[in-house]
Structure 1
Amino acid sequence: MDIKEMRHEVIELAILLENYLDEEITTFFGLDSWDASYHAQIDREREIFVEHFLRYMSLNKKFKIIKKLIESIGEKLYEGFGTDEERFRMIRNKFAHTLYPEIEENFMPKMKIDLVKSQQKDWKKMYKEAKTLYLKILKELDSKIYTEKPRRRKHRRFDQIYLLELIKNYEKMIKELKDKSRV
């Protein structure tokens, strides 16, 4: 695999992870459209939230928010999660901000060629590490936000809790009425 392909894939992994964080943050704050009766309102609020808040937030800040949200639902991330997350961001930044993914020796000054080669010497190792860290981070976050089977969010908003309680109460009333009619 050449350097351009590695660079592309590392940046793509970072974008996928950032999209995951965006989706989980917006859902946590009740901006998913699970209830059709509020669909248009939620879409407008979600658009404002994403467009004017999340879009301009750094990946580092999104990680801080998601860690706080996970902590607020009583879950704990593995020891060293922060180090892995920081290392992933560092690798992503190296790949994203190195100006020359390939060396064009005919058009570059010798000093620039040496600089680029020194920047790229560990790219294969960092590429493999980024893929490993991406999977490790994603699996950890997913395990803290969702139950394994059946796959459901661990965090429930007030309106969801209220609806679930309402359903349970109705089911209880129906059962009691059925029991009375049998007597």
Structure 2
Amino acid sequence: MAGANPCVKYSMFIFNFMFLFFIGLFPILLMQLTAGILAAKFKPETERALKATLRESAQLLSQTNEKGRKFQKTMVTFQKEFKCCGLISGAADWGRNFEEAYESCKCSSPSDSCITYTGRYVYKQTCEPVIRASVSNHLDIVIGLSFGLAAVEVLGMVFSMILFCQIEKR
């Protein structure tokens, strides 16, 4: 083998590499297509489960235990950022805890996006549609990326097989 032509060694390396590339890319392609198909198929069930989870979480806003306090802290931050109030029933979701969360629900001035709750202006929109839209958009991105990258991977596999067959003919 010491006197073997370096071009033959190099072509054998490429030959093996193309075959391994194809074999390695194939399971990735299958997993990616599976993820995209499952995300597309179960999107309605995901949205139903999210809605049920949000209904359960709305109860945490009026609680005074540790779990409720953690969730309330997160919701205060969320409400400030997305200009919404409560999850399902608006400011009423906060119950007796409304005074602590008022600043995050507060509308700066009366407008179409504000309502009056206990004599104060708060955001009319609840946070549920904002959260549902965000989850739906992220699922759409996962689906699009899965199928878009799968197309690129199929092209890579086709080109690797073309090179594999061309080298094998030599």
State the TM-score, normalized to the length of structure 2: 0.29
Choose 1 or 2 for highest CA Rg: 2
